[in-house]
Structure 1
C-alpha cells in the first residue's frame, strides 16, 4: 500500500465545502433525536456519523464503535500557527501547553492569592519584552523567577493530568499545526460524565500558572527541532513554496527570539479570541449512545458562550515562475526534495494531484516505485501530498546511492514526472490506485482513533462530510487523458528544490540555561475542584478476559500444517500469515536472502511485472525475518486471496537469481549502513543500547562484512529462501470464509512431505551492567542519555507491581519523574523511567531511564534522575490515583480481532498460557504504597547502570559524566561493526 512521507500531513485530509442540505439526502439529511437535538446524517456513510451543532455553535461529531468500552475524544480548535501574530510566532503552540495548567478552580490551592502573583509575573513579562538592555532583561527574568517560586506555593502541578489519569484515560496529549490545535484523550466509556465536566471547566478559562518552567520545556522542544534535519528541510521547503503566506513564514514552534520574549497578555488574548465554542468541535468515537451523549455534551459544553470569530485574511502567493533552490545542512545523510505548490482543499488540483501522486508512488507499482526503487537506481525515493485550506503541496523525495549526486537524483525524479506527462503508465492504474486508497480507508474506518482524526480534518477544513465520502468515487471518474493533460499543464519549472547536505548548520540558535529555581509541586495536595471531582462516581466497568483457547479456532491443511484462525466480523479484508519459529539467529543468510527477493522476478514475470500483478489484485504481500521468527504474509480483499496466494507461491518457487540485481542490493545495504550511523536515534537506541546490553557479541554486530556480501552467491541466497518453505511452520488466518482460505492454501502452498526442524540458534549473553559510560560525539544542540540496569529474570508475579510502578513513577505526564525533572526543575523536555519486562521467559528484566535536555543542563538533570532512582518519593494521594488509573485501564482494555492471536503469541513466549490480566487486576487491587516501595527497593534502588550518551563533545561536560562511571568514547563504526568509508573505497 501507499508509503506516506513522514514529513507530510495526513494524505486523507481531503475536501472542504460549506455545509449544504438538499432533499435527496446526498449532502446531508437533517433529523431530530428523541431529545429534540438536530443532527445531520449522510447517505452511504460507512462511518455512521451524526453531526450535531449546539446553539452556541459547537460542532459535535459522534460515531459508534463497539470494539471496546472506550471513547476516542478530540477537542479541536481552528487555531494554529498560521494565525499567530507575526510578532509572536509560536504562540498557538505555547498556548496548547498552558491549557494543561488548569483554571481558577483546577490546579490552585488559593486562587485569590495566586492570581495576584500571576498578575505580577504577567506585568514583569511585558517589561521584559519591552526591555532592550540585556543585563536589565536578565534582572527582570530573575525577578520573574523569584515571584514564580512564591506563586508556586499556591499552585498544584499536573492536577489536570492526575484527574484524566484517574479516569483510566490514555493518550492524554495535544498537538498544534498550521490551522489547528487539538486536545486528545481516550477514555473508558463509563467516565464520560467526569471527562465532560473536567474538559468544560478546562476550556472555560485560561490560567497561565507555572509559565516560565513550561517555557523552558518549549525551548527544549525548539532544540529538538534544531536537531532534526528532516524538520529543517521541511521548513526550508515551506519557506520556498510560501514566501508570503504564514505556511512558509511562521513555524509552529516559533522563532527563538519570540520564545525568549513571550507575552502572557497576548496568549490570553489569543485564547479569548479563538477558544470559543463556535470555533471548536468535539469528536467522540466509541461505544456511545447517541442521544445520551449529545445531552451530556449540551449540559456541559453547551454552557460556553459564543463569540464572533474572525480569522485573519492571509496573503496570496504569486505563481512560481522558475525553480527555487534551498539548502539545509546537518549531520544526517544527504537527500533532495522537489515540491510543487498546489491549490488547497476542495480544489480540482487536490483530486488530480492526489491521483498523480499515487501513480508516481504507491509503495508497490508507481513509476517511482518500479523505475527507481525496484531497479535500485537510487537508494530510496517516494512522494506524498499535503492539502491545507489555502494551498497544498506535492513533494518528491530522493536519497542518492553511493557515488550519486543529489542532482542525479533530482533529474531521475523529474524524469518520472515526464513519464506521467507522457502517459507512460498502464490504463488499469487509476482503478487500482482508487482501490488501494479504498482499502486504506476501510481499515481507518474500523479504527476509532483513525476515524476520529478524519472528523478532525473535516471540521478544521470546514468540509462537507458527504463530499468527503464521495471523494474516491470522484477520483475513479477521472480519465487517464484528463490526468495527463493536467500533468502537462501543472508540472513545469514551478517547484522548490531543497538540498539536504551533510555539514555544519551555522544557523543554530544557542539557548542559555537561565538557572530556574525549582518550583513547588505540592504533590500531595489537591484543589477543592479535584476533591469534588474525585467524589463523582461512575458505574464501574467489569474487566473482560480472553479465553485464548476458545477464541482461537484451529484446523489444518491436508499436509497436517496447523491453521489457527479468527473470523473477521467487520469487513471483507483478510490477513494471512505463515509463521516460522526461526530467524536470523538460526541462519544469518536468511534475512539477506529475503531482502534480495524483493528485487527478483521469475521465469514468467519480471520483478516489475510481479509488483503490478499484486497491485492489480489489491493484495499486499510481505516476507519478514526477525532474530527469532519469520513471517510470509498476504493481506487484502478476501475475494482475491486465492489469486494472491497463487502469485506469491509462484514467486517463492520460481524466483530467478540475478547478479546485477544482487550487486545493486549489496551496494544498497552498504550505503544503508553509512546512512544508519548518521542518525542519532539509531546510534543511541540501537547501537549504544545493544552494546550496553551485550557488548561485542551482539546480534547488531553479527553482520556480514563488505567482502562477504560481495562474494556471496545469489543462487545460494535464492535457494535458502526457496527451501525456507520446507521448514516447520504454522499459519494464522484472520478473515471470513475460512474454508476458502484453507482450500487456497491446500491448492497453492505446496511444501515438502516431511518438514525440516529448525537449525540451532546462535545465543547472545546479556552482560551485567554498571560503571560504564558510553559516549558518542554528534553534532547536535541537545544531549540525550539512557540509563540501563540489568534486573532479575522475568517473573510473572512481578507484572502487576511493575505496571503500577511505571504509572506512578516514570511514565506519563503525572508521573513522579516527569513532575520533578520537567515541571519542577525545567531540566528536560522529555524524561521518563520504567521497569521493562522481558519479552522472553529466559531473558532478564531491565530498569530504564531517559533524559533529553540541553547539554548545559545535563549534570543537573542526571543528578535529579539518579536521586529519584535511589529514593522513590512516597505520595499517598498520587499512588492512589495511579492505582485507580491502572485498574481502570485494565477494566476498559479489550483484546479483540487478530490481536487475540498475537497477544497469545507474546504471552506464550513468557511461559504464560492464559490471560494474565485477571491475576494482575486482583494483585493491583490489594497493593499499598508500602508494597510498591518494597518493589522499588528490591528491583530499582541501588541498581548499577550502564549510561549511554549522545551529544556534542564541545558542549558536554565530560568530567561530570565521569562521575557516573568510566567514560568510553565509542566509534560509531565499531558500535555497528561497520567498515569505515575509507576502507570501503579501497
Structure 2
C-alpha cells in the first residue's frame, strides 16, 4: 500500500500542477511560508524511504487512546442571546464616477497586455470512429495523466432509475471482486472512477496515470459488465438516499432551487420528478444492475484527454460492446416544457429563519448567438459582481441585502429558453424595501460611464486571461455543440464588446427586463412576511415541501 500511496500522491501532484492557478498557489504558499523549494520538490522521493514500521511506530506514538480532544455539537435555543436594537440606516449616495487616490495609483501601474487564446475545435480536438463508437480526443502534451469518459445521451428524463443505478455502482462488485476489492484495485493503480447522471446525460469516467491506462479500462469494464446485485448494499444505499432527502428539506438553498424549478416549468418539473418513498422502497437490486449492464450495450461516445493520439487510442481501446452485440433502445425521454411567464406570481415556502430570500424569475426567448456579446457585457455592468449596479445600489447604498445579484441567463441548449434572474437575501423586516429596490432597477437601468468602462475592461481582461485547456476543451466543445455553435463564442464576445455602449445595454434591458412579469420565489418564516405584502406583488401560491420535492 505504501507504493500505492506514493503513486497516488504523484498523480495528485501532477494534477495540481496542470492548473496555472494551483501551480501559482503552491509557489506562493511555499514562498510566504519560507519553505525550501528543493525540499518541496523532493517530497515524493522522501516518501519512498518510509517503511511500514515507521508508520506503525508513528501511529503508536501520536495516535494513542488519550491523545485527542472530542468536540460535541448540540442543537438548541440560546436563552442568553442579547437583542440589539436595530439602528436607522440612511442610504449612501453612490458616486460611481469618483476614484480614490489609491485606485488612481493602481491604474497607473504598468501592465503587460494579455493576448486572448481561443479554442479551435478543428485543430485542438481530434475525432475518429472505432467499433461504431465516436471518439473525441485532446492530446496531453504536458504529463502522463489521462481522463476518459463514456458519455451517454440518456438520463433521468429517460429513466428515473438511471441516476440511482450509476450511483449504486460504487456500492457493488462482481462475483470475483467485492466493492472493497475494486476500491483497492483502483487505488493501487493510482486511478479512480466517477459516475454521474443528470436529466439528459450520463457520464462514467476514469482517470489516472497513463502507464496504468489499460488496467484501469479493464477494471471499469469488468465492473460494468459483471456487476452483481447486492441487496444488503442496496439497503444501505437506500438509507443514505433517504437521509439525503430528509437533509434537503432542511436546506434553504435546496428549497429555493425547487421553487425556481417550479417557476421555470410549473407544478410538474424536473426537480420534483423523483421516486416517491414507496417507489424507492420497491426498487430491487436486480433492476439497478440490469440498467448498469445495459449501459455497456447503449450507444455512447468516448471523450479522452491523455498522452495517446486519437489513432493510438482507437487501436488500443477495448470497446464496451461486443462487435456482434445489438444496442439496447434508449427509453423515450419525458418532456418538460418551460412555461411562458405571462403575469406576476408569488411562490412562497415557509422556512424557519430570521431572513427572507427572494428570487425573481422569468422565461425569455430561445437562444440567439447574436445576443452573446451584449448579454455578457450587460451581466458584467448590471448585476455580475461587487462593482455592478445591482450590488452597489441594493447592498452598498441602501443596505437592503446580505447578498444580491441579477443576470440574463443564456440557455445551455438551442431548443431551450433564455431566462432572467435576480436575487436578494435580506432581513424579513426589509422585505418590502428590498423588493421595491430591485424592481426599480429591473424597470430602470441607471447610466454610469465609469461603471460601464469598468465592466468592459473587466470582461475583456477576463476573456483575454482565460485559458480553456486539457479536458476542458472537450467540455467546451460539447457545450458549443448543444447551442449549435461551430466556433469558440468567446471570440465574438471579445471582438464585439468594445463597440457596445450604454444605449445598447438600455435597449437590451428594456427588451428583457423592463415592465416584464416575474415569478417571485419567496422563502421566509410564514409570520415574518405579511400576506398583504405578498399579494400586492402578484398572485400568491404557498407550496408545501411535498409539492416542492415530490416526496
In structure 2, what is the equivalent of residue 544 of structure 1?
Answer: 117
Equivalence map 1:215-254=2 (5 Å): none
> Quick one: distance in 2 between partners of 1:773 and 1:536?
50
**RMSD of aligned alpha carbons:** 2.5
Secondary structure at the counterpart of residue 495 of structure 1: coil
In structure 1, what is the equivalent of residue 238 of structure 2?
Answer: 666
Displacement after TM superposition at 1:728 (Å):
1.4
In structure 2, what is the equivalent of residue 778 of structure 1?
Answer: 351
Question: Would you say the 8 A contact 1:786–1:947 is kept in 2?
Answer: yes
> Quick one: distance in 2 between partners of 1:455 and 1:506?
48
Equivalence map 1:890-969=2 (5 Å): 890-969=463-542
In structure 1, what is the equivalent of residue 20 of structure 2?
Answer: 448
1:865 aligns with 2:434: no
> Quick one: distance in 1 between partners of 2:254 and 2:164?
20
1:752 and 1:669, CA in 2 relative to 1: closer, same or farther beyond 3 A?
farther
Deviations 1:300-353 (A, max 9, x none): xxxxxxxxxxxxxxxxxxxxxxxxxxxxxxxxxxxxxxxxxxxxxxxxxxxxxx
In structure 2, what is the equivalent of residue 761 of structure 1?
Answer: 333
In structure 2, what is the equivalent of residue 707 of structure 1?
Answer: 278
Equivalence map 1:23-62=2 (5 Å): none
Secondary structure at the counterpart of residue 768 of structure 1: coil
Question: Would you say the 8 A contact 1:775–1:968 is kept in 2?
Answer: yes
In structure 2, what is the equivalent of residue 848 of structure 1?
Answer: 421
1:528 and 1:632, CA in 2 relative to 1: closer, same or farther beyond 3 A?
closer
Secondary structure at the counterpart of residue 260 of structure 2: helix
Displacement after TM superposition at 1:502 (Å):
5.0
In structure 2, what is the equivalent of residue 516 of structure 1?
Answer: 89
1:727 aligns with 2:298: yes
In structure 1, what is the equivalent of residue 412 of structure 2?
Answer: 839
1:602 aligns with 2:174: yes
Equivalence map 1:484-499=2 (5 Å): 484-489=56-61, 490-499=63-72
In structure 2, what is the equivalent of residue 563 of structure 1?
Answer: 135
Question: Would you say the 8 A contact 2:297–2:321 is kept in 1?
Answer: no
Question: Would you say the 8 A contact 2:297–2:320 is kept in 1?
Answer: no
Secondary structure at the counterpart of residue 565 of structure 1: strand
1:668 and 1:772, CA in 2 relative to 1: closer, same or farther beyond 3 A?
same
Secondary structure at the counterpart of residue 737 of structure 1: coil
Deviations 1:445-487 (A, max 9, x none): 2212222332343345443333333334444433323322332
1:540 and 1:460, CA in 2 relative to 1: closer, same or farther beyond 3 A?
closer
1:968 and 1:477, CA in 2 relative to 1: closer, same or farther beyond 3 A?
farther
Secondary structure at the counterpart of residue 96 of structure 2: coil
> Quick one: distance in 1 between partners of 2:455 and 2:419?
21
Question: Would you say the 8 A contact 2:294–2:328 is kept in 1?
Answer: no
Secondary structure at the counterpart of residue 497 of structure 1: coil
> Quick one: distance in 1 between partners of 2:360 and 2:374?
21
1:579 aligns with 2:132: no
> Quick one: distance in 1 between partners of 2:31 and 2:80?
37
> Quick one: distance in 2 between partners of 1:774 and 1:441?
48
* Deviates most, 780-789 or 457-466: 457-466
**Structure 1: runs of 5+ lacking an equivalent:** 1-427, 979-986
> Quick one: distance in 2 between partners of 1:581 and 1:909?
12
Displacement after TM superposition at 1:646 (Å):
0.7
Question: Would you say the 8 A contact 1:579–1:730 is kept in 2?
Answer: yes
1:538 and 1:598, CA in 2 relative to 1: closer, same or farther beyond 3 A?
closer
1:492 and 1:883, CA in 2 relative to 1: closer, same or farther beyond 3 A?
same
Aligned residues between the structures: 548
Question: Would you say the 8 A contact 1:772–1:964 is kept in 2?
Answer: yes
1:432 aligns with 2:11: no
> Quick one: distance in 1 between partners of 2:307 and 2:252?
44
> Quick one: distance in 2 between partners of 1:467 and 1:547?
40
Question: Would you say the 8 A contact 2:296–2:320 is kept in 1?
Answer: no
Equivalence map 1:67-106=2 (5 Å): none
1:589 and 1:454, CA in 2 relative to 1: closer, same or farther beyond 3 A?
same
* Equivalent in 288, 301, 318 of residue 717 of structure 1: 288
1:533 and 1:504, CA in 2 relative to 1: closer, same or farther beyond 3 A?
closer
Equivalence map 1:94-133=2 (5 Å): none
Question: Would you say the 8 A contact 1:645–1:744 is kept in 2?
Answer: no
Deviations 1:671-717 (A, max 9, x none): 22111111121111x22221221222111211112222222332122
1:615 aligns with 2:187: yes
1:666 and 1:567, CA in 2 relative to 1: closer, same or farther beyond 3 A?
same
* Equivalent in 625, 634, 638 of residue 206 of structure 2: 634
1:876 and 1:721, CA in 2 relative to 1: closer, same or farther beyond 3 A?
same
Question: Would you say the 8 A contact 2:225–2:296 is kept in 1?
Answer: no
> Quick one: distance in 2 between partners of 1:471 and 1:617?
20
Question: Would you say the 8 A contact 2:171–2:233 is kept in 1?
Answer: yes
In structure 2, what is the equivalent of residue 263 of structure 1?
Answer: none
> Quick one: distance in 2 between partners of 1:538 and 1:835?
32
1:975 aligns with 2:540: no
Secondary structure at the counterpart of residue 913 of structure 1: coil
**Structure 2: runs of 5+ lacking an equivalent:** none
Secondary structure at the counterpart of residue 847 of structure 1: strand
> Quick one: distance in 2 between partners of 1:801 and 1:507?
53
Equivalence map 1:395-474=2 (5 Å): 428=1, 430-474=2-46
> Quick one: distance in 2 between partners of 1:479 and 1:746?
38
Question: Would you say the 8 A contact 1:516–1:826 is kept in 2?
Answer: yes
Secondary structure at the counterpart of residue 728 of structure 1: coil
Higher relative contact order (Cα pairs below 8 Å, separated by 6+ residues): 2
In structure 2, what is the equivalent of residue 368 of structure 1?
Answer: none
Question: Would you say the 8 A contact 2:191–2:207 is kept in 1?
Answer: yes
Question: Would you say the 8 A contact 1:563–1:730 is kept in 2?
Answer: yes
> Quick one: distance in 2 between partners of 1:481 and 1:508?
53
Question: Would you say the 8 A contact 1:812–1:818 is kept in 2?
Answer: yes
Question: Would you say the 8 A contact 1:510–1:781 is kept in 2?
Answer: no
1:780 and 1:468, CA in 2 relative to 1: closer, same or farther beyond 3 A?
farther
Secondary structure at the counterpart of residue 70 of structure 2: strand
Displacement after TM superposition at 1:531 (Å):
6.5
1:708 and 1:457, CA in 2 relative to 1: closer, same or farther beyond 3 A?
same
> Quick one: distance in 1 between partners of 2:105 and 2:37?
40
> Quick one: distance in 1 between partners of 2:345 and 2:229?
46
1:643 aligns with 2:215: yes
1:491 and 1:956, CA in 2 relative to 1: closer, same or farther beyond 3 A?
farther
Displacement after TM superposition at 1:598 (Å):
1.5
Secondary structure at the counterpart of residue 948 of structure 1: strand
Equivalence map 1:297-376=2 (5 Å): none
In structure 2, what is the equivalent of residue 688 of structure 1?
Answer: 259
1:505 and 1:607, CA in 2 relative to 1: closer, same or farther beyond 3 A?
farther
Question: Would you say the 8 A contact 1:572–1:735 is kept in 2?
Answer: yes
Equivalence map 1:774-853=2 (5 Å): 774-853=347-426
Secondary structure at the counterpart of residue 551 of structure 1: coil
Question: Would you say the 8 A contact 2:192–2:208 is kept in 1?
Answer: yes
Secondary structure at the counterpart of residue 261 of structure 2: helix
Deviations 1:714-754 (A, max 9, x none): 21221121012212111111111235533442367646544
> Quick one: distance in 2 between partners of 1:781 and 1:583?
38
